[in-house]
Amino acid sequence: KQEVTQIPAALSVPEGENLVLNCSFTDSAIYNLQWFRQDPGKGLTSLLLIQSSQREQTSGRLNASLDKSSGRSTLYIAASQPGDSATYLCAVFHAKFYFGTGTSLTVIP
Amino acid sequence: DTEVTQTPKHLVMGMTNKKSLKCEQHMGHRAMYWYKQKAKKPPELMFVYSYEKLSINESVPSRFSPECPNSSLLNLHLHALQPEDSALYLCASSREADRMYEKLFFGSGTQLSVL
């Protein structure tokens, strides 16, 4: 069974810092990987989707990489802002979506 | 229109009540999903509808009854729920249910409290 883990579970950084969130999965037979953002009590917003054949995707200050063979993905956030404070979840897709445990990010002004 | 709309946003119900959650999308997506999310946990898949037919039921108790009246609408009928069913219920959609390029679009959820 696919298991998706995110480390760290919580992260607190000062505004302006660059940061990396990690996602690991146990079964490399995935079709794609998505990173989501979730604000408290709200739905999930898709940030980036990486196909299994791709190595990375970029959107603004966000860059996501994928190393399928090692079962890892990272989400890089440049020049963090207080508005980036949220929980970030990764999800891998193979027949269905498997969600990670999430990283709760706090950016301190 | 890239929205998935869920109603109501909040719901409080007793264990003997019957209520329904509603979800709507107008993106032409043919796959729709119900997820349950407890606080500080990842979403858990409950049901998947593909082309208006139930394709996945993750062994969900029968007190939860999904319905897909048409390709734009998804309902979740609730009956005789337990307090442990209190959670955020999320609806999502994608163009197809089992293709490699699929991106999930989520609604803002219904926060359900069972008393």
What is the distance in angstroms between the CA of the first residue and the CA of the last residue of chain A? Answer: 41
> Does the structure show a pLDDT above 70 at B2?
no
Q: What integer pLDDT is reported at residue B96 of this predicted model?
A: 80
Q: What integer pLDDT is reported at residue B78 of this predicted model?
A: 96
- Residue B87: pLDDT band (50, 70, 90) is very high
Give the tens place of pLDDT for each residue, A28-77.
898 899 999 999 888 999 999 999 899 999 999 999 999 999 999 999 99
Residue A49 backbone phi and psi in degrees, to 5: -125, 130
Q: Do A43 and B103 touch (CB under 8 A)?
A: no
Q: Is the Cβ–Cβ distance between A78 and A85 less than 8 Å?
A: no
Tell me how far apart the alpha carbons of residues B61 and B65 are, in angstroms, rounded to a whole number. Answer: 9
DSSP class of B27: S
Give the tens place of pLDDT for each residue, B37-46.
999 899 999 9
Q: Which residue has the tokens 């606080």?
A: B39
- Residue B100: pLDDT band (50, 70, 90) is low
Which sign does the torsion angle of CA A97, A98, A99, A100 carry?
A: negative
What is the average pLDDT value for chain A, to the nearest integer? Answer: 94
Most B-contacting residue of A3, A97, A103 (CB-CB within 10 A), to test interface:
A97
Q: What integer pLDDT is reported at residue B1 of this predicted model?
A: 61
Structure tokens at B26: 């107008």
Amino acid at B53: K
Beta-carbon contacts of B47 under 8 Å, excluding residues fewer than 6 positions away, are B33, B34, B54, B56, B57, B58, B60, B66, B76
Q: Is the Cβ–Cβ distance between A88 and A7 less than 8 Å?
A: no
Q: What integer pLDDT is reported at residue A41 of this predicted model?
A: 87
| CA distances from residue B87 to A43, A100, B9, B46 in whole angstroms, order as listed | 12, 18, 12, 13
Alpha helix (H) residue ranges in chain A: none
Most B-contacting residue of A3, A34, A44 (CB-CB within 10 A), to test interface:
A44
Q: What integer pLDDT is reported at residue B101 of this predicted model?
A: 64
